[in-house]
Amino acid sequence: MTRTTYAAMLAGLLSLTLVTAPRAMDAGRSHILAPQEIVRQLEDAGYKNVHDVELDDGVYEADATSRAGVPVDLEIDPLTGRVLREDVDR
């Protein structure tokens, strides 16, 4: 093969990488639920006054009032919205 052919192949591979790399990087993040979705799921589950939803060490943390009317601290799975832990807020 000639230098021109190698250069054309390299240019093609580089452009393909530049086009597909951002999509691949976004794909991993797109599975994490948005804080607004977490609030909606918690409210649908009966929690009230859901606030301070923050992602910390790979887990959402939030403050809310439980179905029983007790203030609680929650840990939530960022992929599913499932409550992993509920502690009474003291």
Q: Are residues 83 and 46 in the same domain?
A: yes
Query: pLDDT by residue (tens digit) across 37-81?
Result: 999 999 999 999 999 999 999 999 999 999 999 999 999 999 999
Domain CATH for 39: 3.10.450
> What is this structure's pTM?
0.66
Q: For residues 50 and 66, give the distance between their C-alpha atoms in angstroms, rounded to a whole number.
A: 9
Structural domain range at position 74:
35-88
Q: Are residues 17 and 61 in the same domain?
A: no
Spatial neighbors of 47 by CB under 8 A, at least 6 apart, are 64, 65, 66, 67, 72, 74
